[in-house]
Structure formats: C-alpha cells, structure tokens
Amino acid sequence: MALVAACDRLHAIPERCARWLLMADDRMASQPFYLTQQFFARLQGVLRATVNKAFRAFQTRGLIRYRRGRMTIVDRPGLEATACEYYKIIRSDYERLLG
C-alpha cells in the first residue's frame, strides 16, 4: 500500500493510469471490464478531462480499446512499459501474498 501511495504522489498521470489499469486487469476474471472515466478520475483525484486525455493517448498508441466504459487492454507489454516501475514490485508482492 505504501508503494501505491508513493506512486500516486510521485508519478505522472499516464504512469499512474497505466499501473492502475494493469492492476485492475490482474484482478478481473475477463476482459473487457467496465470502468467509467468519471469513476476513474475520482479514484485518481484528477479531473475527468485528464483521464480522457490519458485514455486517448493509450488508444492512439494501440495499448487499450475504450468505448463507453468498456475497457480492453490490447497491448499489455506496451502498457507495462508505460507504467511506473512500482507496478512490477506491487504485482510480485500481490502474487507472493495472495497467489
């Protein structure tokens, strides 16, 4: 949890968004999953327009497909490269603790 808090404080919105999407995907049973920009903006403590800008950039790069709340991660390795370095640490801890 400390790494998540540190990430939210230290890293830029695209890195944080990529980390969060990857973490959500790790825990979802299937894709696509439902996620509105408004809900995501509240989670991140930013404006919806900021989330929209990040999601559009991810779509332009072919990392995700997003339409009306339906999120599909298209290029997971590319999204992992976009996420901050904390994602891999958080994921390994999650797998170690919860398998």
Q: Which residue has the tokens 């939210």?
A: 8
Q: Which residue has the tokens 């390795």?
A: 77
pLDDT at residue number 67: 92
Spell out the per-residue pLDDT of the chain, length 99, in tens: 555 555 566 667 888 889 889 988 888 878 898 999 999 999 888 999 999 999 999 999 999 999 999 999 999 999 999 987 777 777 776 676 776
pLDDT at residue number 66: 94
Domain residues for the domain of 59 are 2-98
Domain count, the chain: 1
Task: Compute φ and ψ for 34, nearest 5 degrees.
Answer: -95, 130
pLDDT at residue number 74: 95
Query: Is the separation of the CB atoms in 50 and 40 below 8 Å?
Result: no
CATH code for the domain of 83: 1.10.10.10
pLDDT at residue number 3: 58
